[in-house]
Protein backbone atom coordinates (compact mmCIF):
# COMPACT_ATOMS: atom_id res chain seq x y z
CA UNK A 1 0.00 0.00 0.00
CA UNK A 2 1.09 3.60 -0.51
CA UNK A 3 1.08 6.22 2.25
CA UNK A 4 -2.44 7.51 1.68
CA UNK A 5 -3.86 3.97 1.54
CA UNK A 6 -2.02 3.00 4.73
CA UNK A 7 -3.46 6.06 6.44
CA UNK A 8 -6.94 5.16 5.27
CA UNK A 9 -6.50 1.53 6.40
CA UNK A 10 -5.53 2.81 9.84
CA UNK A 11 -8.52 5.16 9.95
CA UNK A 12 -11.28 2.74 8.93
CA UNK A 13 -14.38 3.32 11.04
CA UNK A 14 -13.99 1.05 14.08
CA UNK A 15 -16.76 -1.37 13.18
CA UNK A 16 -15.56 -1.83 9.58
CA UNK A 17 -12.88 -4.23 8.38
CA UNK A 18 -12.87 -2.78 4.86
CA UNK A 19 -13.98 0.20 2.79
CA UNK A 20 -15.42 0.25 -0.71
CA UNK A 21 -14.77 3.48 -2.60
CA UNK A 22 -16.27 4.40 -5.94
CA UNK A 23 -15.98 8.17 -6.49
CA UNK A 24 -13.58 9.30 -9.19
CA UNK A 25 -11.80 11.82 -6.96
CA UNK A 26 -11.22 9.37 -4.12
CA UNK A 27 -10.09 6.55 -6.39
CA UNK A 28 -7.65 9.01 -7.93
CA UNK A 29 -6.53 10.30 -4.54
CA UNK A 30 -5.68 6.88 -3.14
CA UNK A 31 -4.20 5.20 -6.25
CA UNK A 32 -2.87 8.06 -8.38
CA UNK A 33 -4.93 6.62 -11.24
CA UNK A 34 -7.58 8.72 -12.99
CA UNK A 35 -10.46 6.89 -14.64
CA UNK A 36 -14.19 7.28 -15.14
CA UNK A 37 -15.09 3.98 -13.50
CA UNK A 38 -13.81 1.44 -11.00
CA UNK A 39 -13.95 0.31 -7.39
CA UNK A 40 -11.34 0.54 -4.68
CA UNK A 41 -11.54 -2.05 -1.90
CA UNK A 42 -9.34 -1.29 1.09
CA UNK A 43 -8.94 -3.77 3.94
CA UNK A 44 -6.72 -3.24 6.97
CA UNK A 45 -3.75 -4.73 5.07
CA UNK A 46 -4.55 -4.80 1.37
CA UNK A 47 -5.93 -2.57 -1.34
CA UNK A 48 -7.47 -3.61 -4.65
CA UNK A 49 -8.46 -1.46 -7.58
CA UNK A 50 -11.14 -3.28 -9.55
CA UNK A 51 -11.17 -2.13 -13.16
CA UNK A 52 -13.16 -3.37 -16.13
CA UNK A 53 -11.69 -4.15 -19.55
CA UNK A 54 -11.74 -0.50 -20.67
CA UNK A 55 -9.35 0.62 -17.94
CA UNK A 56 -7.48 -2.54 -16.93
CA UNK A 57 -4.31 -1.96 -18.97
CA UNK A 58 -3.97 1.70 -18.01
CA UNK A 59 -4.63 0.77 -14.39
CA UNK A 60 -1.85 -1.84 -14.45
CA UNK A 61 0.52 0.89 -15.63
CA UNK A 62 -0.52 3.73 -13.36
CA UNK A 63 -2.05 2.47 -10.11
CA UNK A 64 0.24 2.98 -7.13
CA UNK A 65 -0.08 0.95 -3.96
CA UNK A 66 -3.08 -1.21 -4.86
CA UNK A 67 -3.34 -4.54 -6.65
CA UNK A 68 -5.25 -4.22 -9.91
CA UNK A 69 -8.06 -6.73 -10.41
CA UNK A 70 -9.31 -6.75 -14.01
CA UNK A 71 -12.85 -7.98 -13.59
CA UNK A 72 -15.28 -9.53 -16.02
CA UNK A 73 -18.09 -9.88 -13.54
CA UNK A 74 -17.88 -7.42 -10.67
CA UNK A 75 -19.95 -9.65 -8.38
CA UNK A 76 -17.55 -12.58 -8.77
CA UNK A 77 -14.40 -10.54 -8.20
CA UNK A 78 -15.81 -8.70 -5.21
CA UNK A 79 -17.11 -11.87 -3.67
CA UNK A 80 -13.79 -13.62 -4.10
CA UNK A 81 -12.03 -10.81 -2.21
CA UNK A 82 -14.65 -10.78 0.55
CA UNK A 83 -14.14 -14.50 1.11
CA UNK A 84 -10.35 -14.39 0.75
CA UNK A 85 -10.03 -11.77 3.49
CA UNK A 86 -13.01 -13.05 5.48
CA UNK A 87 -14.51 -9.58 5.52
CA UNK A 88 -17.49 -9.08 7.79
CA UNK A 89 -18.39 -5.41 7.59
CA UNK A 90 -17.64 -3.15 4.66
CA UNK A 91 -18.13 0.61 4.86
CA UNK A 92 -19.49 2.09 1.63
CA UNK A 93 -18.39 5.55 0.52
CA UNK A 94 -21.65 7.33 1.29
CA UNK A 95 -20.99 10.32 -0.93
CA UNK A 96 -19.86 8.11 -3.82
CA UNK A 97 -22.63 5.50 -4.14
CA UNK A 98 -26.08 6.45 -5.31
CA UNK A 99 -28.91 4.69 -3.49
CA UNK A 100 -29.43 2.47 -6.55
CA UNK A 101 -25.77 1.50 -6.78
CA UNK A 102 -25.65 0.66 -3.09
CA UNK A 103 -28.70 -1.59 -3.53
CA UNK A 104 -26.97 -3.31 -6.44
CA UNK A 105 -23.61 -3.77 -4.72
CA UNK A 106 -24.87 -4.98 -1.34
CA UNK A 107 -25.70 -8.56 -2.39
CA UNK A 108 -22.32 -8.83 -4.17
CA UNK A 109 -20.55 -8.39 -0.83
CA UNK A 110 -22.41 -11.14 1.02
CA UNK A 111 -21.78 -12.71 3.47
CA UNK A 112 -20.24 -9.39 4.58
CA UNK A 113 -22.73 -6.74 5.56
CA UNK A 114 -22.42 -3.12 4.55
CA UNK A 115 -22.19 0.01 6.67
CA UNK A 116 -23.93 3.05 5.24
CA UNK A 117 -23.14 6.13 7.27
CA UNK A 118 -20.93 9.19 7.02
CA UNK A 119 -17.95 7.92 9.07
CA UNK A 120 -15.85 6.65 6.15
CA UNK A 121 -16.40 9.89 4.25
CA UNK A 122 -15.39 11.86 7.31
CA UNK A 123 -12.15 9.87 7.64
CA UNK A 124 -11.35 10.46 3.96
CA UNK A 125 -12.26 14.13 4.31
CA UNK A 126 -9.73 14.46 7.16
CA UNK A 127 -7.00 13.04 4.95
CA UNK A 128 -7.80 15.07 1.87
CA UNK A 129 -8.28 18.40 3.65
CA UNK A 130 -4.50 18.83 4.14
CA UNK A 131 -2.57 18.68 0.89
CA UNK A 132 0.79 17.00 0.29
CA UNK A 133 3.59 18.94 -1.39
CA UNK A 134 2.92 16.98 -4.56
CA UNK A 135 -0.74 18.03 -4.54
CA UNK A 136 0.13 21.68 -3.94
CA UNK A 137 2.55 21.57 -6.87
CA UNK A 138 -0.18 20.31 -9.19
CA UNK A 139 -2.61 23.01 -8.08
CA UNK A 140 0.15 25.60 -8.53
CA UNK A 141 0.87 24.31 -12.04
CA UNK A 142 -2.85 24.52 -12.89
CA UNK A 143 -2.81 28.11 -11.62
CA UNK A 144 0.29 29.02 -13.69
CA UNK A 145 -1.46 27.70 -16.80
CA UNK A 146 -4.55 29.77 -16.01
CA UNK A 147 -2.50 32.92 -15.54
CA UNK A 148 -0.65 32.46 -18.85
CA UNK A 149 -3.95 31.90 -20.64
CA UNK A 150 -5.61 34.95 -19.07
CA UNK A 151 -2.62 37.19 -19.73
CA UNK A 152 -2.71 36.21 -23.40
CA UNK A 153 -6.48 36.58 -23.66
CA UNK A 154 -6.89 40.04 -22.10
CA UNK A 155 -5.48 41.95 -25.13
CA UNK A 156 -8.07 40.21 -27.31
CA UNK A 157 -10.96 41.63 -25.29
CA UNK A 158 -12.29 44.40 -27.55
CA UNK A 159 -15.58 46.24 -27.78
CA UNK A 160 -18.20 43.96 -29.36
CA UNK A 161 -16.54 40.69 -28.39
CA UNK A 162 -19.04 38.36 -26.71
CA UNK A 163 -18.70 36.77 -23.29
CA UNK A 164 -18.81 33.39 -25.01
CA UNK A 165 -15.94 34.36 -27.36
CA UNK A 166 -13.81 35.22 -24.35
CA UNK A 167 -14.66 31.93 -22.60
CA UNK A 168 -13.82 29.89 -25.71
CA UNK A 169 -10.53 31.70 -26.28
CA UNK A 170 -9.53 31.16 -22.66
CA UNK A 171 -10.46 27.50 -22.75
CA UNK A 172 -8.41 26.99 -25.89
CA UNK A 173 -5.39 28.67 -24.35
CA UNK A 174 -5.76 26.80 -21.05
CA UNK A 175 -5.71 23.49 -22.90
CA UNK A 176 -2.94 24.65 -25.23
CA UNK A 177 -0.76 25.49 -22.22
CA UNK A 178 -0.96 21.91 -20.99
CA UNK A 179 -4.11 21.53 -18.91
CA UNK A 180 -6.17 18.41 -19.55
CA UNK A 181 -9.37 20.42 -19.13
CA UNK A 182 -10.82 23.57 -17.68
CA UNK A 183 -11.46 23.43 -13.94
CA UNK A 184 -15.19 24.26 -14.27
CA UNK A 185 -17.37 26.06 -16.81
CA UNK A 186 -15.43 29.30 -17.12
CA UNK A 187 -17.25 32.41 -15.97
CA UNK A 188 -16.47 35.36 -18.24
CA UNK A 189 -19.30 37.84 -17.88
CA UNK A 190 -19.62 41.55 -18.53
CA UNK A 191 -21.72 44.56 -17.59
CA UNK A 192 -24.97 44.03 -15.69
CA UNK A 193 -24.44 40.28 -15.75
CA UNK A 194 -21.58 40.58 -13.28
CA UNK A 195 -24.21 40.94 -10.53
CA UNK A 196 -24.82 37.17 -10.94
CA UNK A 197 -22.00 35.39 -9.07
CA UNK A 198 -22.23 32.34 -11.36
CA UNK A 199 -23.56 33.97 -14.53
CA UNK A 200 -23.15 31.94 -17.72
CA UNK A 201 -21.20 33.52 -20.62
CA UNK A 202 -23.53 34.24 -23.52
CA UNK A 203 -24.01 36.47 -26.54
CA UNK A 204 -23.74 39.63 -24.44
CA UNK A 205 -21.16 41.95 -26.03
CA UNK A 206 -18.47 43.78 -24.10
CA UNK A 207 -18.90 47.56 -24.11
CA UNK A 208 -17.09 50.56 -22.62
CA UNK A 209 -17.89 51.14 -18.98
CA UNK A 210 -18.41 47.44 -18.22
CA UNK A 211 -16.84 45.54 -15.44
CA UNK A 212 -15.80 42.10 -16.66
CA UNK A 213 -15.51 39.18 -14.26
CA UNK A 214 -13.23 36.24 -14.99
CA UNK A 215 -13.73 33.28 -12.62
CA UNK A 216 -11.47 30.72 -14.21
CA UNK A 217 -9.29 27.69 -13.62
CA UNK A 218 -7.45 24.77 -15.17
CA UNK A 219 -7.32 21.07 -14.44
CA UNK A 220 -3.82 19.61 -14.22
CA UNK A 221 -3.19 15.94 -13.37
CA UNK A 222 -6.61 15.87 -11.76
CA UNK A 223 -6.08 19.00 -9.65
CA UNK A 224 -8.08 22.22 -9.98
CA UNK A 225 -7.11 25.85 -9.81
CA UNK A 226 -9.51 28.69 -9.03
CA UNK A 227 -9.06 32.45 -9.43
CA UNK A 228 -11.32 35.43 -10.02
CA UNK A 229 -10.36 38.82 -11.35
CA UNK A 230 -12.70 41.68 -12.19
CA UNK A 231 -11.42 44.25 -14.69
CA UNK A 232 -12.75 47.58 -15.89
CA UNK A 233 -13.29 47.84 -19.64
CA UNK A 234 -12.65 51.49 -20.39
CA UNK A 235 -13.66 54.21 -17.94
CA UNK A 236 -15.99 53.20 -15.12
CA UNK A 237 -18.17 55.19 -12.69
CA UNK A 238 -17.27 56.33 -9.18
CA UNK A 239 -19.76 53.81 -7.80
CA UNK A 240 -18.10 50.94 -9.67
CA UNK A 241 -14.72 52.13 -8.40
CA UNK A 242 -15.94 52.34 -4.82
CA UNK A 243 -17.45 48.84 -4.88
CA UNK A 244 -14.24 47.52 -6.39
CA UNK A 245 -12.19 49.16 -3.65
CA UNK A 246 -14.36 47.70 -0.88
CA UNK A 247 -14.08 44.17 -2.33
CA UNK A 248 -10.35 44.63 -2.86
CA UNK A 249 -9.85 45.64 0.77
CA UNK A 250 -12.20 42.94 2.11
CA UNK A 251 -10.29 40.32 0.14
CA UNK A 252 -6.96 41.53 1.50
CA UNK A 253 -8.31 41.57 5.06
CA UNK A 254 -9.66 38.05 4.56
CA UNK A 255 -6.23 36.92 3.36
CA UNK A 256 -4.56 38.66 6.31
CA UNK A 257 -6.75 36.58 8.66
CA UNK A 258 -5.52 33.29 7.17
CA UNK A 259 -3.03 31.25 9.21
CA UNK A 260 -3.00 27.85 10.89
CA UNK A 261 -4.94 27.88 14.16
CA UNK A 262 -7.72 30.29 13.21
CA UNK A 263 -11.17 28.99 12.28
CA UNK A 264 -12.60 29.05 8.78
CA UNK A 265 -15.41 31.15 10.23
CA UNK A 266 -12.90 33.78 11.41
CA UNK A 267 -11.69 34.32 7.85
CA UNK A 268 -15.24 34.57 6.55
CA UNK A 269 -16.21 36.99 9.30
CA UNK A 270 -13.28 39.31 8.63
CA UNK A 271 -14.09 39.76 4.96
CA UNK A 272 -17.86 39.77 5.47
CA UNK A 273 -17.98 42.34 8.24
CA UNK A 274 -15.83 44.73 6.27
CA UNK A 275 -18.25 44.54 3.35
CA UNK A 276 -21.31 44.88 5.59
CA UNK A 277 -19.85 47.84 7.50
CA UNK A 278 -19.05 49.56 4.21
CA UNK A 279 -22.81 49.62 3.56
CA UNK A 280 -23.24 46.49 1.46
CA UNK A 281 -25.07 44.18 3.85
CA UNK A 282 -27.15 41.72 1.83
CA UNK A 283 -24.97 42.15 -1.26
CA UNK A 284 -22.53 39.31 -0.44
CA UNK A 285 -24.67 36.19 -0.45
CA UNK A 286 -22.11 33.40 -0.75
CA UNK A 287 -19.36 31.94 1.40
CA UNK A 288 -15.97 33.65 1.48
CA UNK A 289 -14.22 30.57 0.14
CA UNK A 290 -13.68 26.83 -0.04
CA UNK A 291 -10.99 24.18 -0.23
CA UNK A 292 -9.58 23.27 -3.65
CA UNK A 293 -7.97 20.02 -4.81
CA UNK A 294 -9.15 16.99 -6.76
CA UNK A 295 -12.58 18.61 -6.50
CA UNK A 296 -13.15 22.25 -7.27
CA UNK A 297 -15.12 22.67 -4.04
CA UNK A 298 -13.68 20.74 -1.11
CA UNK A 299 -13.37 21.05 2.63
CA UNK A 300 -12.97 23.32 4.44
CA UNK A 301 -15.79 25.66 3.57
CA UNK A 302 -14.85 29.22 4.52
CA UNK A 303 -18.31 30.13 5.73
CA UNK A 304 -20.08 31.92 8.56
CA UNK A 305 -19.61 30.18 11.88
CA UNK A 306 -17.58 27.27 10.51
CA UNK A 307 -15.40 26.17 13.41
CA UNK A 308 -13.01 24.05 11.35
CA UNK A 309 -9.50 25.07 12.40
CA UNK A 310 -7.21 25.93 9.51
CA UNK A 311 -4.05 23.83 9.34
CA UNK A 312 -0.82 24.28 7.43
CA UNK A 313 -1.13 22.63 4.04
CA UNK A 314 -4.81 23.31 3.50
CA UNK A 315 -5.50 24.95 0.15
CA UNK A 316 -8.38 27.42 0.28
CA UNK A 317 -9.84 30.29 -1.70
CA UNK A 318 -10.64 33.76 -0.38
CA UNK A 319 -13.25 35.29 -2.67
CA UNK A 320 -15.54 37.94 -1.29
CA UNK A 321 -17.79 39.89 -3.64
CA UNK A 322 -20.45 42.56 -3.84
CA UNK A 323 -23.39 42.07 -6.19
CA UNK A 324 -25.87 44.80 -7.06
CA UNK A 325 -28.74 43.23 -9.08
CA UNK A 326 -29.42 45.01 -12.36
CA UNK A 327 -26.25 47.08 -12.01
CA UNK A 328 -22.98 45.18 -11.64
CA UNK A 329 -20.91 42.98 -9.35
CA UNK A 330 -17.29 42.59 -8.29
CA UNK A 331 -15.51 39.48 -7.00
CA UNK A 332 -11.81 38.97 -6.37
CA UNK A 333 -10.47 35.50 -5.59
CA UNK A 334 -7.11 34.00 -4.77
CA UNK A 335 -6.24 30.41 -3.91
CA UNK A 336 -3.72 30.13 -1.08
CA UNK A 337 -1.86 27.50 0.90
CA UNK A 338 -2.26 27.93 4.67
CA UNK A 339 1.02 28.16 6.60
CA UNK A 340 1.96 28.52 10.29
CA UNK A 341 2.14 32.31 10.10
CA UNK A 342 -0.05 33.14 7.12
CA UNK A 343 -0.37 31.82 3.61
CA UNK A 344 1.36 31.33 0.29
CA UNK A 345 -0.65 32.90 -2.51
CA UNK A 346 -0.78 30.66 -5.57
CA UNK A 347 -2.28 33.51 -7.62
CA UNK A 348 0.18 36.12 -8.79
CA UNK A 349 -1.82 38.38 -11.13
CA UNK A 350 -2.30 41.91 -9.76
CA UNK A 351 -5.54 42.85 -8.03
CA UNK A 352 -5.44 46.65 -8.05
CA UNK A 353 -8.21 48.04 -10.26
CA UNK A 354 -7.00 47.53 -13.81
CA UNK A 355 -8.47 49.08 -16.92
CA UNK A 356 -8.29 46.85 -19.98
CA UNK A 357 -9.34 47.87 -23.50
MN1 LIG B 1 -13.90 29.63 -6.03
- Per residue in 79-134, pLDDT (tens digit) is 999 999 999 999 999 999 999 999 999 999 999 999 999 999 999 999 999 999 99
The rounded Å distance from CA 134 to ligand 1 centre is 21
Q: How confident is the model at residue 301 (pLDDT cuts 50, 70, 90)?
A: very high
State mean pLDDT over 33-54: 95
Cβ < 5 A residues, ion ligand 1: 226, 317
Distance 299 CA to ligand 1 centre (A): 12
Q: Convert 300-316 to b/e letters by CB count within 10 Å (16 or more is b).
A: bbbbeebebebeebbbb
Q: Measured between alpha carbons, how far is 143 from 139 in angstroms, rounded to an integer?
A: 6
Residue 357's pLDDT is what? Answer: 82
235, 100: one domain:
no
Cα(228) to centroid of ligand 1, in Å? 8
Q: How many domains does the chain have?
A: 2
CA–centroid distance, residue 148 to ligand 1 (Å): 19
From the list 353, 290, 298, 277, the residue with the least C-alpha distance to 319 is 290
Q: State in Å: Cα 209 to ligand 1 middle.
A: 25
State which residues form the domain around 184.
133-356
CA of 89 to the centre of ligand 1 (A): 38
How far, in Å, is the centroid of ligand 1 from the Cα of 355? 23
Please give the Cα distance from 309 to 269 (Å, whole number). 14
Name residues whose C-beta falls within 8 Å of residue 35's C-beta, 6 or more positions apart in sequence.
Answer: 24, 27, 28, 51, 55, 58, 59
Same domain, 114 and 137: no
pLDDT at residue 313 is higher than 90: yes
Q: Which residues pair with 249 in a beta bridge?
A: none
pLDDT tens digits, one per residue of 190-230: 999 999 999 999 999 999 999 999 999 999 999 999 999 99
CA–centroid distance, 225 to ligand 1, in Å, is 9
Strand arrangement, sheet containing 67-70: 67-70, 47-51, 39-43, 18-21, 89-92, 113-115
Quote the CA–CA distance of 246 and 143 in Å, as a whole number.
Answer: 25
Q: Which of 128, 151, 177 is the last residue of a domain?
A: 128
CATH code: domain of residue 336? 3.90.230.10
- For ligand 1, the distance from its centroid to the CA atom of residue 41, given in whole angstroms, is 32
Q: Final residue of a domain: which of 63, 98, 128?
A: 128
**If you measure from the C-alpha of residue 11 to the centroid of ligand 1, how many angstroms do you get, rounded to a whole number?**
30
| pTM for this predicted structure | 0.94
Distance 287 CA to ligand 1 centre (A): 10
Residues 120 and 210 in one domain: no
| Same-domain status, 331 and 184 | yes
> What is the percent of the chain where pLDDT is above 90?
98
46 plus 152 within the same structural domain: no
Q: Are 94 and 204 members of one domain?
A: no
Distance 227 CA to ligand 1 centre (A): 7
Last-in-domain residue among 98, 128, 158: 128
Per-residue pLDDT at 2: 86
Q: How far is the CA of 188 from the centre of ligand 1 (A)?
A: 14
Amino acid sequence: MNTSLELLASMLPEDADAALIVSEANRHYFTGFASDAGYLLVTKEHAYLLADFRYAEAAENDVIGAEVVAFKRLSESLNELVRKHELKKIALEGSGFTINEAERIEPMLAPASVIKNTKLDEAIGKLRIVKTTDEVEKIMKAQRITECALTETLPLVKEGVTEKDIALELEYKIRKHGAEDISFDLITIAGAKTSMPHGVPGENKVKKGDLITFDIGALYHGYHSDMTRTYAFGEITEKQKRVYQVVYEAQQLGLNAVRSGVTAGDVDKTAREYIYHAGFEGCFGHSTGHGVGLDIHELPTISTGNETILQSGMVITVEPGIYLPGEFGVRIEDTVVVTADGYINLCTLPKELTIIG
